[in-house]
């Protein structure tokens, strides 16, 4: 409660410093900014891990706290903050972009989601904790994902669709997901139908965090509901950092029912060794 009150106080001060919006077009602009912020907050609260520390302006942080993101993991950036370090993800609203200017791409180079357009857009960015070494860490992680993806694609216990195989070989799959799939394949034969994510506006190369698995497999010892229940049971045995955000059945376009294993954003670096 104390953290929430502190955020509310900062919001009140911040709003008090803003000049009043002009009538007419100004009210439309505010409505547009509110809608974009609502989209970003909805995505963050459902897709970003709640153990992640977020840096944001006072208004965005307050909205996130009100929508269930842990207030203790929200770092309200004061206008005088020299950088966003100490957090893992930066919510780049218009105020934050103005505050950091051209340094923003250095502090937080990777966009994992983006909402809106023009001056009011909001980017969700991964903060480069190791500064200039971040690019090298990205390249090493990609190499490790490619190597591990190739191993999975060649695993005799895994059936892989052509599209899913291409993602594995290109290094386009989240490291936690690769490990989870290897674990599942060690318990039951699995069939990977596809990979995916919900990450509007994400930069090229951001890994896929979802896997869609067939609900049956001809090579499995069980069939139908028993096989699906077995996969669910094994998936729930996974422990952090390999514990999924959610596991459940969904229906793909076209009507096929599959098991979706979903991991939270952002994808961590360095979990796999190349």
- What would the pLDDT profile of 205-262 be if each residue is shown by its tens digit? 999 999 999 999 888 877 789 999 999 999 999 999 999 999 999 999 999 999 999 9
pLDDT band at 21 (very low <50, low <70, confident <90, very high): very low
> Which pLDDT score, from 0 to 100, does residue 263 have?
98
> Which pLDDT score, from 0 to 100, does residue 272 have?
84
Residue of 147, 265, 248, 259 whose CA lies nearest to 194 = 259
> Which pLDDT score, from 0 to 100, does residue 239 have?
96
> Which pLDDT score, from 0 to 100, does residue 181 have?
98
pTM of the model: 0.87
Task: Kindly state the average pLDDT of the residues 89-94.
Answer: 97
> Which pLDDT score, from 0 to 100, does residue 250 have?
97
The domain locations on the chain are: 2-129, 134-262
Residue 1 scores a pLDDT above 70: no
Task: Kindly state the average pLDDT of the residues 84-111.
Answer: 96
Residue 73 scores a pLDDT above 90: yes
pLDDT band at 29 (very low <50, low <70, confident <90, very high): low
> Which pLDDT score, from 0 to 100, does residue 133 have?
87
pLDDT band at 17 (very low <50, low <70, confident <90, very high): very low
Residue 8 scores a pLDDT above 80: no
pLDDT band at 47 (very low <50, low <70, confident <90, very high): very high
> Which pLDDT score, from 0 to 100, does residue 131 have?
78
pLDDT tens track for 112-162: 999 999 889 999 999 998 877 899 999 999 999 999 999 999 999 999 999
Residue 188 scores a pLDDT above 60: yes
Percent of the chain with pLDDT over 70: 88
Residue 5 scores a pLDDT above 70: no
Q: How many CB atoms lie within 10 A of CB 138?
A: 16
Residue 9 scores a pLDDT above 90: no
């Amino acid at each position: 409660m104390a953290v929430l009150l502190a955020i509310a106080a900062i919001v009140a001060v911040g709003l008090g410093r803003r000049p009043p919006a002009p009538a007419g077009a100004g009210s439309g602009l505010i409505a547009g900014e509110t809608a974009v912020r609502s989209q970003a907050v909805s995505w963050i609260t459902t897709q970003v891990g709640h153990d992640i520390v977020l840096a944001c302006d006072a208004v965005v942080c307050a909205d996130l706290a009100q929508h269930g993101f842990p207030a203790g993991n929200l770092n309200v950036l004061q206008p005088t903050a020299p950088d966003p370090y100490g957090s893992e993800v930066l919510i780049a609203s218009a105020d934050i972009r103005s505050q950091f200017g051209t340094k923003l791409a250095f502090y937080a180079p990777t966009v994992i989601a983006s909402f809106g357009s023009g001056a009011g857009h909001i980017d969700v960015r991964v903060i480069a904790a190791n500064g200039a070494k971040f690019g090298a860490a990205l390249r090493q992680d990609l190499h490790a994902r490619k190597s591990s993806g190739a191993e999975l694609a060649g695993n005799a216990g895994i059936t892989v669709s052509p599209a899913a195989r291409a993602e594995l070989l290109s290094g386009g799959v989240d490291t936690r997901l690769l490990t989870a799939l290897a674990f599942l394949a060690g318990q039951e034969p699995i069939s990977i139908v596809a990979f995916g994510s919900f990450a509007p506006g994400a930069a090229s190369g951001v890994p896929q965090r979802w896997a869609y698995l067939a609900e049956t497999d001809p090579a499995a010892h069980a069939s139908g509901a028993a096989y699906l229940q077995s996969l669910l049971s094994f998936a729930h045995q996974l422990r952090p950092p390999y514990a999924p955000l959610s596991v459940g059945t969904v229906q793909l376009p076209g009507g096929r029912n599959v098991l979706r294993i979903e991991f939270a954003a952002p994808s961590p670096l360095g979990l796999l060794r190349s």
